[in-house]
Amino acid sequence: ATCSLDRYLMLWKLKTKCRAYRFAGHVEAVTSVEFSPDGQLLASASQDHTVRLWVPCIHGESSVLKGHTASVRSVNFSHDGYSIVSASNDRSIKIWSVYSQRLLSTLFQHTGWVRCAKFSPDGRLIASCGEDKSVNVWDARNKTCISSLSDYEGFANFVAFNPSGTCIACAGSNHTVKLWDIRMNKLLQHFKVHRAGVNCISYHPSGNYLITASTDGTVKILDLLEERLIYTLHGHKGPVLCVAFSKGGEKFASGGAGAQVLLWQTNFDSLDYKEVLKHNFRRTHIDDPPHLLDMYPRSPNRHDEIFQSVEVS
């Protein structure tokens, strides 16, 4: 599923090449689209201040969720498919019920436009980023902000949880990608591999690789275990705006300002993950996934501390 400034959603059938359905409904640019975990629904966000839920069939029927007062930047399903979280230029984050199709709650903490909000893999946390240069972590149940990661070098365009839910990756407007451990509010890795702002990131299902999309026109793949850049992919004409791995990680798609979506084949399946994880067990499994009882409100991250960060040039 793809979305565009042309106000349409496109649903592509990959088995029969070039077969697509075009869904019309939004009256302004569509900024985000995502399948529900079971594949039975699509959610979309738009500059027309609405979120829509679609049944991905030939009829393209949709229902409208109204509540935001400015452009909606991102939309994301919870792991069980019962809830949606949306982020907007009205500085708020909203949580919606999929089945009753109503607003459940609104989260206020950001003082600037909120660019992205994502549920953690277990659905207990929400990570959000905004133009106020902060990345907030929320308790999805009691709707409180439990920690804030401040970055004074720039703001994050996009956030993503790793598959285990212990780390957050941030795509920075200052050309960087940063990985934070949310249990300790600690910066783990810091990649400087792009020459322009990073617009989107996606974790491989194994958690070992991160793919990035940038305004510099490239897609890059980072090996997180080896802490290095392994591929730079050219093909887009103009900025690359979004990127996403398939559910199994055997493919990924990237979309750009050139009105094209590119579908790529990975070669990661040639690696034996069990051997890789066994070799790096201590590095990838320091602790169990975070428990909310272990997390408590912390003061904003102080940047005068010395971090064990890794910079890749």
Tracing tokens 């428990």 back to the chain, one arrives at 291
CA distances (Å), 182 to each of 54, 105, 291, in order?
A: 33, 23, 11
Percent of the chain with pLDDT over 70: 84
Angle at 154 between CA 151 and CA 158, to 5 degrees: 85
Tell me the pLDDT tens digit for each residue of 106-118. Answer: 999 999 999 999 9
Query: Is the Cβ–Cβ distance between 140 and 123 less than 8 Å?
Result: yes
How high is the pLDDT of residue 61?
86
pLDDT at res. 271: 54
Ranges of CATH 2.130.10.10 domains, the chain: 2-198
Kind plus residue range of the DSSP H or E element containing 276: helix 273-279
Encoded amino acid at 108, one letter: F
**Range 199-283 classified under CATH 2.40.10:** yes
- The pLDDT of residue 313: 55
pLDDT at position 168: 96
Query: pLDDT for 232-254, tens place per residue?
Result: 999 999 999 999 999 889 999 99
For 68-97, b where at least 16 C-beta lie within 10 A, e where not — what string? beebbbbbbbbeebbbbbbbbbbbbbbbbe
What's the pLDDT at 298? 45
141-172 pLDDT tens trace: 999 999 998 766 789 999 999 999 999 999 98
- d(Cα 273, Cα 258) in Å, to the nearest integer? 35
> What's the pLDDT band for 19 if we cut at 50, 70, 90?
confident
pLDDT for the residue numbered 57: 83
Using DSSP's 3-state secondary structure scheme, residue 227 falls into coil
Query: Does residue 285 carry a pLDDT above 50?
Result: no
Here the tokens at position 53 are: 């839920």
Q: Does residue 286 register a pLDDT over 50? A: no
pLDDT of residue 296: 45
Average pLDDT on 50-70 reads 92
Indicate the fold that domain 2-198 takes in CATH: Methylamine Dehydrogenase; Chain H (2.130.10)
**102 class by beta-carbon count within 10 Å (0-12 exposed, 13-18 middle, 19+ buried):** exposed
Average pLDDT, integer, range 182-204: 93
For 251, the token pair is 């493919």
Burial of 174 (C-beta count, 10 Å sphere; 0-12/13-18/19+)? middle
CA distance to 85, 92, 140, per residue, from 105 (Å): 10, 10, 10
For position 18, what pLDDT does the model report? 65
In the predicted model, is pLDDT for residue 306 greater than 60?
no
DSSP code at position 289: P
Q: Where in the chain is the domain with CATH 2.40.10?
A: 199-283
The residue among 234, 230, 256, 258 whose CA lies nearest residue 243 is 256
The amino acid that residue 188 corresponds to is L
d(CA 279, CA 296): 33
The pLDDT assigned to 20 comes to 83
Residue 56 reports pLDDT greater than 60: yes
Give the pLDDT score at 304.
47
> Is the predicted pLDDT of residue 293 greater than 70, yes or no?
no
Q: Can you give the pLDDT at residue 274?
A: 54
Here the tokens at position 268 are 């990661």
Question: How would residue 96 be classed by pLDDT, with cut points 50, 70 and 90?
Answer: very high
Contact in structure between 275 and 125 (CB atoms under 8 Å)? no
